[in-house]
Structure 1
C-alpha cells in the first residue's frame, strides 16, 4: 500500500501526461470533510446494501429486460425508495422490443454422443425443429470474417477463441466479445444453419455466458446463435486438432415477441440550495435470466441506493440534488439510459456529475474522472479523503462513468468512476453463477462508503465539474 500511495503522489506531481507541472491544491472545508468521514464510518458498519441486493435477487429473481420480472423489479424499486424516505420517487416508462431465449438444447453427436452446455445469445433466431450438421471450425472471429458468401451452406459454424485472462480491470473483454456481437452476421452471410461460439468469460466451469449480440442496420439473426461453455469449447478444439469430424444437433426457441413496456426508477434527495443541479448515480435494474443478477447489477443498485439513503439521514440535505436511477433494459442496448437522456434532455445542462456502479461487488480500488481542468484539484482532494478505504487516484481524463452514463457523457455531462476489483468478475458475468453468494458483505460496505463520501462531496462542494469532452464508445 505504501508503494501505491507513493506512486500515486509522484504521478500527481508530474501530471497525468508525465511532464512536470505545478500542482494545484484544493482543500475541502473541515466540517464538510468530517461529515464525509462520518458517512464512510457509518457505511462500513451498515448492512443496508446487502439487505437491498438480497431482497432484489430473492424476492424478484432474474430480471430479463422487458419481462414481467423486470416490471416487478420496478415496482420493488419504487416501493424501496418510498420506504427509505427519498423525496421523489418516479417510474419513467418507455417502450422496447422483447426478446426471450425460450428452450434450447445442444448435443455433440459425432464422433460420439455428448451433451454440451450452451445458451442462446440475445437477439438469436429460432430453429425450425432440430438442426443437425457437421461443424466448420474457425479458430477465431477473424477467421470467420474471411468466409466466402455461401461457403457454409447447410453447416454449423463454430467460432473458437481463447478464455479471457483474468484481470482487475476486465482487460480483453472487448476483443473477446466480438465473436458474440458480430459472429452471426458473417455466419449468415456464409449460409450457415446456426452459429456456435466459445462463450465470453474467464472461468473454466461449464457455465455458458450469455449476452446481447449487435444488430445489423436494425436487423437481428435469423439463425440460432449459441454460446457454449469454455470446457466444452476446449473439448471441440481438441477433437478438431485430432482431425475428427464433429457433428452437432441443436434446437432453439429464441425469438422476438413485439413491443413491451420497460422503465427507469428515479429516486431524488432534493438539494437544499440548488435543487435544480443534479448529481446522478445508479445501476441497472435488469439482468440476464440465467442467474439472479446479483453482481450484474443488483450490487450496483444496492450500493448507490444505500449510499444516497445514508446521505439523506444527515441533519441537512446537501446543496445539490442527488438522483439515483435504477436503469431499465441496460443489457439489451442501454435502452433505459437512452430513454433517460431523451426524457431529461431539457435539463441535461443541470446534471453536474454522473457515475454508475456496474462491475460487480468487489472492493473499489481506484477513482478516475473526466471533468474540466479547474475541477481536477477538487476531485484529487476527494481522492485523498477516501484513500483510507484503499482507493488510489487514477486518471483525470478517463471517459465513461459507466455504461448507462454514456448517453449523458456524450451530451457533455462530466463523469467520475469508482473502479472495482474485477479480477473474478468475468467468472460469473452473464452466467447461471451470478448469484448472491458471490457477494462479500464487507466488500459491499466498502463500496457504499466510497460512494457515500464521493457523492456527498460532489453535491455539497461549490465546484463546477462540467467539461465538453465526450467519451469513446463502450457497451455492456
Structure 2
C-alpha cells in the first residue's frame, strides 16, 4: 500500500512538470526510495565512533579522524580527496572534581567548559552565590561576587526545533559576567533537557576563571541547599591545557559533474567532537548523512560537482572561517552550501534559499520529500549550519534541514552521545531528504542568487 501511494504521488508530480523537471522529479523519488534502505550512513557513523571515538580539536584522536576521513571518502568512490590544514584553538580536558564541603558534604558531577581556566594546584574552595537565571546574576553590581563561586541554574526548555537551545545556551557563556563581578569560578546547569546525573560540556568564552557545567540533578540539589539558608561551600579542582593555535583539518572529497564541473554543491558535517561520549549524534551522524546522500546523488552523474566537506573544528571554532578564507575566490561557482549538525532525528522542516520555491528543480525536491512528512517552509533559509557561516557571509546561498531535536539535547555534549542512541530508520530518512536536494540542485541549472534577487 505504501509503495502504491508513493508511486501515485510521484506520477502526479511528474505529470505537472516540464520534461526536464519531470526527469529530475522521477530520479529524486527513486533516490529517496534507495536512501531509505541504504546502509552507507549507518556504516560511516559506526566506523567513526568505533574506530576513532571522541575527537576533540588538537588531540591525537583528531589526527586519526583526519586519516579516517581520507580513507573513508576514497573507499566510497570520491575523487580529489584531500586535507586542507589550518590552525585553530585547542582546549583539552584534564582531571576534574567538585564537591560540596558544607553544610551537607556531597560529591557533584561536573564537566569543564571549553576555554575554562584551570584551578590552582590543590583546587579552590569558596561559598556559592546562586542565581536561577543568567539575567539575575548579570543584575548584580561589580564586585558583588568577590571571592565566591557563581552558580546559574537556569533551565532549558525542550522543543522540537532548536529554539530551546538557542535561548538557553547563552547561560553557558556566563563566566565572563561572573568574572566581571569578582567570582572565582562559574558553574552552570548543563544546557540540556535530560534528568540524568551526566553533565553536558560545550564551548565558552575565555573568562580567566574556572568554568564548568553541573548535571541537572546537582544544580537542583544546590538550589535546595541554598534554600535552607545556610552558606553552601564548594571545593573545585580542574585541570586543562589550552593552545591558541593547533593544527586542524578540513577533509574534502568530490564527485565531479558531467557538464559543469566548476559549479559546486557543498554539503557536509563536522568531524570533531567533544570528549565525554563518542561524538555519534554530534556529529558523526552529520558526516554519515551528508556522505551517504552525496554518494547516492553522485551515482546519477549530475551536471554539477558535489563536494563533501568534513569540517574539522566546529566545536571549538575555526573550520568554517578557514574554509571560507581558502575558497574566497571560488564563491561565485559555489551553488549552495549546507551542513548536517543536529543529530539523526527525522527532518520535519526544510528551508530553501530565498525565492526558489517555485523553481521546477525545487518543486521536484518538494514533491520527493513530502511523503517523508517534511514541510517545505515558505520562509527562506537563514543559516546552513555553523561551518557554512563564512561562505554565507561571502554571498553563498544556504539551505536548512531542520530535525526533530526533542531528544537531541538529552544527549548532546555528554557521555550519552553514543551510537546506540541513533535510530537507523531516522538516519535513513535524513539521507533521503539530503539526497533528493543534492541531486535536484546538482542536475539542474537553478541559480539561487538569481531567484533571491528576483524575490527582493
TM-score (norm: length of structure 1): 0.88
Residues 117 and 240 in structure 2, CA contact (< 8 A), matched pair in contact too:
yes
- Displacement of 1:130: 1.5
Q: Give matches, 1:203-222, under 5 Å.
A: 203-214=194-205, 220-222=206-208
Distance change >3 Å, CA 28–CA 239, structure 1 → 2: farther
The equivalent of 2:29 in structure 1 is 37
- Displacement of 1:74: 1.0
- Displacement of 1:27: 7.4
Find the aligned partners of 1:97 and 1:65 in 2 and give their Cα distance. 8
The equivalent of 1:330 in structure 2 is 314
Q: Which moved more, 1:396-405 or 1:276-285?
A: 396-405
- 1:174 partnered with 2:166: yes
Query: Which residue of 119, 122, 127 corresponds with 1:127?
Result: 119
Deviations 1:42-72 (A, max 9, x none): 1111111101000000100000012111111
Find the aligned partners of 1:374 and 1:61 in 2 and give their Cα distance. 40
Secondary structure, counterpart of 2:449 in structure 1: coil
Query: Which residue of 260, 272, 290 corresponds with 1:274?
Result: 260
Secondary structure, counterpart of 1:244 in structure 2: coil
- 1:48 partnered with 2:40: yes
Find the aligned partners of 2:139 and 2:420 in 1 and give their Cα distance. 43
Residues 96 and 259 in structure 1, CA contact (< 8 A), matched pair in contact too:
yes
Q: Give matches, 1:237-386, under 5 Å.
A: 237-314=223-300, 317-333=301-317, 335-372=318-355, 378-386=361-369
- Displacement of 1:96: 1.6
Secondary structure, counterpart of 2:352 in structure 1: strand
| Aligned residue pairs, count | 437
Residues 359 and 446 in structure 2, CA contact (< 8 A), matched pair in contact too:
no
Find the aligned partners of 2:361 and 2:136 in 1 and give their Cα distance. 49
- Displacement of 1:344: 0.4
RMSD after superposition: 1.9
Query: Which residue of 49, 72, 77 corresponds with 1:80?
Result: 72
The equivalent of 2:144 in structure 1 is 151
Distance change >3 Å, CA 374–CA 228, structure 1 → 2: closer
Secondary structure, counterpart of 1:415 in structure 2: coil
- Displacement of 1:364: 1.3
Distance change >3 Å, CA 294–CA 467, structure 1 → 2: farther
Residues 22 and 364 in structure 2, CA contact (< 8 A), matched pair in contact too:
no
Find the aligned partners of 1:364 and 1:124 in 2 and give their Cα distance. 34
Secondary structure, counterpart of 1:29 in structure 2: helix
- Displacement of 1:307: 1.0
TM-score (norm: length of structure 2): 0.92
The equivalent of 2:3 in structure 1 is none
Residues 28 and 364 in structure 2, CA contact (< 8 A), matched pair in contact too:
no
- Displacement of 1:187: 1.4
The equivalent of 1:224 in structure 2 is 210
Residues 26 and 381 in structure 1, CA contact (< 8 A), matched pair in contact too:
no
Find the aligned partners of 2:351 and 2:51 in 1 and give their Cα distance. 34
Q: Which moved more, 1:299-308 or 1:95-104?
A: 95-104
Distance change >3 Å, CA 221–CA 254, structure 1 → 2: farther
The equivalent of 2:418 in structure 1 is 435
Deviations 1:317-355 (A, max 9, x none): 11000011000110112x111100000000011111111
- 1:387 partnered with 2:370: yes
- Displacement of 1:98: 1.7
Find the aligned partners of 1:430 and 1:27 in 2 and give their Cα distance. 47
- Displacement of 1:147: 2.4
Distance change >3 Å, CA 27–CA 433, structure 1 → 2: farther
Find the aligned partners of 1:125 and 1:91 in 2 and give their Cα distance. 32
Residues 354 and 401 in structure 1, CA contact (< 8 A), matched pair in contact too:
yes
Q: Which runs of 5+ in 1 are unaligned?
A: 1-23, 215-219, 471-476
Q: Which runs of 5+ in 2 are unaligned?
A: 1-15
The equivalent of 1:410 in structure 2 is 393
Find the aligned partners of 1:25 and 1:165 in 2 and give their Cα distance. 43
Residues 356 and 451 in structure 2, CA contact (< 8 A), matched pair in contact too:
no
Residues 375 and 463 in structure 1, CA contact (< 8 A), matched pair in contact too:
no
Q: Which moved more, 1:238-247 or 1:54-63?
A: 238-247
Secondary structure, counterpart of 2:226 in structure 1: helix
Residues 361 and 444 in structure 1, CA contact (< 8 A), matched pair in contact too:
yes
- 1:186 partnered with 2:177: yes
- Displacement of 1:469: 7.3
Residues 356 and 362 in structure 2, CA contact (< 8 A), matched pair in contact too:
no
Secondary structure, counterpart of 2:163 in structure 1: coil
- Displacement of 1:371: 3.1
Distance change >3 Å, CA 374–CA 249, structure 1 → 2: closer
